Amino acid sequence: MLDKTTVYLDNSAATRLDERVLEAMQPYFFDKYAVATSEFAYSQGIEARESLDNAREILASNLGAAPDEFIFTSGSTESSNIALKGVALALDNKKGKHLITSKIEDFPVLNSAKALEKQGFQVTYLDVDSDGFVILDKLRESITKETILVSIQHANQEIGTIQDIEQIGHICREKDVLFHTDATHTFTRIPLDVKNIPVDLITVAGHTIHGPKGIGGLYIRQGTAIAKWIDGGFQEYDLRAGLENIPGAIGFARASELITPQETEQLQKMRDHIITRILSEIPDTTLNGHRWQRLPQNANISFHFIEGESITLHLDMHGFAVSTGSACFSRSLEGSHVIFGIGGDHERAHGSIRFTFGRFNNMNDVNNLVQVLTEIVKELRSISPLGKEKQEEKE
Amino acid sequence: MKSPYSETVLEHFRHPHNVGKIENADGKAIEGSPACGDMVSVYINVHPDTKTITDIKFESYGCASNIATGSIITELAKGKTLDEAKKISWKQASDALGGLPKIKAHCSVLAVEGLRSAIENYEESHGLIKERIPTTLEIVRARLRKVMNPMAGLDLVRTNLVQDIEIDKGTVRVVVNLPEDHQFTPAIKEEIIEKIKPLWDIKEVIVEFTQ
The whole-number average pLDDT for the span B39-66 is 94
Give the mean pLDDT of chain A: 94
pLDDT band at B131 (very low <50, low <70, confident <90, very high): low
Residues of A in contact with B14 (CB under 8 A): 317
Residues of A in contact with B150 (CB under 8 A): 333
Are B40 and B83 part of one and the same domain?
Answer: yes
Are B32 and B82 part of one and the same domain?
Answer: yes
Looking at residue B200, its pLDDT comes to 81
Read off the CATH number of the domain in which B180 is found.
3.30.300.130
Specify the amino acid at residue A109: V
The whole-number average pLDDT for the span A149-164 is 98
Name which of A310, A317, A347 is nearest B1 (Cβ-Cβ).
A317
Looking at residue A1, its pLDDT comes to 46
pLDDT in tens, B90-106: 889 999 999 988 878 77
Are B38 and B76 part of one and the same domain?
Answer: yes
User: Could you list the active site residues of B?
Assistant: 36, 107
Q: Which of B94, B125, B156 represents a domain boundary (last residue)?
A: B125
Query: Which of B12, B28, B42, B61 is the mutation pick for testing A, counting most A CBs within 10 A?
Result: B61
pLDDT in tens, A320-367: 999 998 877 666 667 899 999 999 988 899 999 999 999 999 999 999
Least confident interval from A92-96, A236-240, B50-54: A92-96
Are B60 and B103 part of one and the same domain?
Answer: yes
**Residue A63 neighbours by CB under 8 Å, 6+ apart:** A70, A192, A193, A194, A202, A204, A219
- The domain spans of chain A are 19-258, 260-394
Name which of A317, A332, A385 is nearest B187 (Cβ-Cβ).
A332
The closest of B185, B17, B107, B148 to A350, measured between CA atoms, is B107
How big is chain A, counted in residues? 395
On whether residue B130 sits in a domain, the answer given is no
Looking at residue A222, its pLDDT comes to 97
Asked whether the predicted pLDDT for residue B64 surpasses 70, the reply is yes
On whether residue B89 sits in a domain, the answer given is yes
Looking at residue B1, its pLDDT comes to 65
How far off is chain B from A121, nearest CA to CA, in Å? 16
Are B46 and B150 part of one and the same domain?
Answer: no
The whole-number average pLDDT for the span B158-170 is 89
Quote the percentage of chain A above a pLDDT of 70: 96
Q: Which of B125, B151, B173 represents a domain boundary (last residue)?
A: B125
Asked whether the predicted pLDDT for residue A41 surpasses 80, the reply is no
The whole-number average pLDDT for the span A270-288 is 98
Interface size, chain A vs chain B, as Cβ–Cβ contacts under 8 Å = 82
Specify the amino acid at residue A166: E
The CA-CA-CA angle for residues B100, B102, B103, to 5°, reads 110
Task: Say if the Cβ atoms of B59 and A327 lie within 8 Å.
Answer: no
Parent domain of B33: 7-125
Note whether A334 contacts B: Cβ–Cβ < 8 A. yes
| Structural domain count of chain B | 2
Q: What is the dihedral of CA B140, B145, B151, B152, to 10 degrees?
A: 150
Asked whether the predicted pLDDT for residue B84 surpasses 50, the reply is yes
Asked whether the predicted pLDDT for residue A392 surpasses 70, the reply is no
Q: Quote the DSSP letter at residue A5.
A: T
Are B118 and B157 part of one and the same domain?
Answer: no
On whether residue B197 sits in a domain, the answer given is yes
**Greater pLDDT, B12 or B145:** B12
Task: Say if the Cβ atoms of B187 and A385 lie within 8 Å.
Answer: no
Are B80 and B179 part of one and the same domain?
Answer: no
Note whether B39 contacts A: Cβ–Cβ < 8 A. yes
Chain centre to alpha carbon of residue A163: 13
Looking at residue B128, its pLDDT comes to 78
Residues 303-332 of A with CB under 8 A from B: 305-307, 309-310, 313, 316-317, 326-329, 331-332
Residues of A in contact with B103 (CB under 8 A): 331, 333
Residues of A in contact with B2 (CB under 8 A): 1
Looking at residue B103, its pLDDT comes to 79
Name which of B3, B59, B186 is nearest A383 (Cβ-Cβ).
B59
Are B192 and B89 part of one and the same domain?
Answer: no
Looking at residue B201, its pLDDT comes to 87
Are B28 and B93 part of one and the same domain?
Answer: yes
- Report the alpha-carbon distance of residue B141 to residue B196 in Å, rounded: 10
Question: DSSP alpha helices (H): ranges in chain A?
Answer: 19-25, 27-30, 43-62, 76-91, 107-118, 136-142, 165-174, 235-238, 246-258, 261-281, 308-317, 337-341, 346-350, 363-383, 388-394
pLDDT in tens, A42-80: 888 888 899 999 999 999 999 999 999 999 999 999 999
For domain A260-394, the CATH architecture is Alpha-Beta Complex (3.90)
Are B24 and B116 part of one and the same domain?
Answer: yes
Identify whether the C-beta of residue A168 lies closer than 8 Å to the C-beta of residue A179.
yes
pLDDT in tens, A4-34: 579 999 999 999 999 999 999 999 999 888 8
The closest of A290, A272, A291, A234 to A370, measured between CA atoms, is A272
On whether residue B178 sits in a domain, the answer given is yes
Are B115 and B148 part of one and the same domain?
Answer: no
Report the DSSP beta bridge partners of residue B60: B40
pLDDT band at B109 (very low <50, low <70, confident <90, very high): confident
Identify whether the C-beta of residue B64 lies closer than 8 Å to the C-beta of residue B106.
no
A316, closest residue in chain B (CA to CA) = B1
Name which of B3, B30, B187 is nearest A334 (Cβ-Cβ).
B187
- Report the alpha-carbon distance of residue A271 to residue A64 in Å, rounded: 28
Where in chain B does DSSP place strands (E)? 27-33, 38-46, 53-61, 148-149, 154-155, 162-168, 171-176, 204-209
User: Could you list the active site residues of A?
Assistant: 328
Helix or strand holding residue B188 (H, E)? helix B185-196
Task: Say if the Cβ atoms of A383 and B64 lie within 8 Å.
Answer: no
Task: Say if the Cβ atoms of A385 and B67 lie within 8 Å.
Answer: no
Read off the CATH number of the domain in which B115 is found.
3.90.1010.10
Identify whether the C-beta of residue B118 lies closer than 8 Å to the C-beta of residue B27.
yes
How big is chain B, counted in residues? 211
Asked whether the predicted pLDDT for residue A281 surpasses 50, the reply is yes
Residues 146-205 of B with CB under 8 A from A: 150, 181, 183-184, 186-187
Query: Which of A330, A340, A352, A383 is the mutation pick for testing B, counting most B CBs within 10 A?
Result: A383
**Greater pLDDT, A175 or B129:** A175
What order of strands is seen across the sheet that includes strand B171-176?
Answer: B162-168, B171-176, B204-209
Q: Which of B90, B125, B160 represents a domain boundary (last residue)?
A: B125
For domain A19-258, the CATH architecture is 3-Layer(aba) Sandwich (3.40)
How far off is chain B from A284, nearest CA to CA, in Å? 15
Are B20 and B119 part of one and the same domain?
Answer: yes
